[in-house]
Amino acid sequence: MGFMAGFFYILTKSEALSFTLLKQLISRNGMGEIMNTCETSKLKLNFYRLDRLISICLPDMHQHFKEENLNASLFSTSFFITLFSQVLQTQNNAKNIWKLERIWDFFIVYGWKAIYKVSLIMLRENEERLRASSFEMVLS
């Protein structure tokens, strides 16, 4: 939640408003179930859905992941828990802040579909680089 709260603070410059926005975002989108460490079924369902979407929309990437024994849970946890705010904020680039604003706009309007679509777009844009490297190289 810290990354999301931090992003709201970057946008609003108000702790109170950031907290209110974070609370609304979590309650309106059922994110409490995802963030609860005891109840992971919704997060696992999101991983499964993303794996299936990858197999349908990016079959070559899916095959590569299968060969490397990878599944969505290994790389997309922060996508679902922080709505990309961890991935894009840590790069500390104004261009990424703009991207994150757009992703959250789509999330607010379209819900979880936006997160799946952005995940697929990111994978498609980096497909050649990901397929060229092995799992060991990605981790190091």
Task: With respect to residue 76, please indicate whether it lies within any of the assigned structural domains.
Answer: yes
Task: With respect to residue 109, please indicate whether it lies within any of the assigned structural domains.
Answer: yes
Predicted confidence pLDDT, tens digits, the chain (140 residues): 788 888 888 889 999 999 999 899 888 887 877 766 556 788 889 999 999 999 999 999 999 999 888 899 998 988 888 888 887 666 556 667 888 889 999 999 999 999 999 999 999 998 888 777 654 444 44
Q: What is the DSSP string of 73-128?
A: GGT-HHHHHHTTHHHHHTT--HHHHHHHHHHHHHHHHHTHHHHHHHHHHHHHHTHH
Q: % helix / strand / coil in the chain, to the nearest 5?
A: 80, 0, 20
Task: With respect to residue 14, please indicate whether it lies within any of the assigned structural domains.
Answer: no
Task: With respect to residue 12, please indicate whether it lies within any of the assigned structural domains.
Answer: no
Q: If you compute the radius of gyration of the chain from its CA atoms, what whole number of angstroms results?
A: 16
Q: What CA–CA distance (Å, rounded) separates 107 from 101?
A: 10
Task: With respect to residue 32, please indicate whether it lies within any of the assigned structural domains.
Answer: no
CATH number for 115: 1.10.472.80
pTM, two decimal places: 0.79
Q: What CA–CA distance (Å, rounded) separates 54 from 66?
A: 11
Q: Which contiguous run of DSSP H or E holds residue 12? A: helix 2-12
Task: With respect to residue 19, please indicate whether it lies within any of the assigned structural domains.
Answer: no
Full domain range(s) for residue 120: 37-139
Task: Pick the closest to residue 51 from 64, 62, 67 (CA basis).
Answer: 62
**What pLDDT score was predicted for residue 97?**
80
Task: With respect to residue 131, please indicate whether it lies within any of the assigned structural domains.
Answer: yes
Split into its structural domains, the chain has a count of 1
Angle (deg, nearest 10), helices 15-28 and 2-12: 130
